[in-house]
Amino acid sequence: FFIGLYVLVGAGALMTTVGFFGCCGAARESQCLLGAFFACLLVIFAAEVTAGVFAFIGKKVAIQEAQKIYEDTYDDYMKNPGGKVNRTIYHYHLALQCCGKDNMEQQMGLPCPENIQMPKASNCLVEIQNVIDANLHLLGIVGIAIAGITIFGMIFSMILCCAIRNTRDVI
């Protein structure tokens, strides 16, 4: 859990640094800072493309990992039904609109939401796969949008860098 938090903090620090290069480069009309901004955006763009390729190639692994997390939580609940896992498994069931991982007889003691439809309630492992399959294209759309914004940033930084060079050549 904390690894994801550290990744987000690191990404925020990286974006702050990149924004600093771009902002200071534009304000001071510095070709060096604008070049550093372009280079950082190029590295970020390459990382985005790589992450996107791995996301679509590793879709099955992501589904298996999500299912394993559910199974571990399910097994922890079965060992200790009154513990903290009770709320966790209930939130899984509520979010996925399912209950349990196998047949209905095994799910009698599970904390399941009351408003779920019974045919869908039979298997959360199948629901996890369905949710990831249905929503992976949204991740791709967001990735493409961010990559497009990154490309525009690279284009505009190079245009600004060239404009600065041309005005200095005139003087």
Listed in sequence order, the residues at least 6 apart from 88 whose beta carbon sits closer than 8 Å to its beta carbon are 73, 77
Question: Is the backbone of residue 100 left (phi > 0), alpha (psi -120 to 50) or beta?
Answer: left
Question: What does the pLDDT look like over 36-79, one tens digit per residue?
Answer: 999 999 998 998 888 888 877 888 888 898 889 888 888 888 88
Three-state helix/strand/coil letters over 126-161: HHHHHHHHHHHHHHHHHHHHHHHHHHHHHHHHHHHH
At 157, the pLDDT band (50, 70, 90 cuts) reads: very high
Residue that wins the pLDDT comparison between 99 and 83? 99
Please report the pLDDT score of residue 90 as a whole number.
Answer: 81
Own/partner pairs, 11-17, CB within 8 angstroms, 24+ separation = 14/40, 14/44
The string of pLDDT tens digits covering residues 94-135 is 888 887 776 554 556 677 777 666 555 568 888 888 888 888
Indicate whether 136 pLDDT > 60. yes
Print the domain residue range for 79: 1-170
Measured distance CA(85)–CA(75) in Å, rounded? 10
Q: How many domains does the chain have?
A: 1
pTM beyond 0.75: the answer is no
Q: Count CB-CB contacts under 10 A for residue 159.
A: 11
User: Is the model more confident about 30 or about 7?
Assistant: 30
> Which pLDDT does position 126 carry in this prediction?
86
Do 25 and 33 meet the contact criterion of CB atoms below 8 Å apart?
Answer: yes
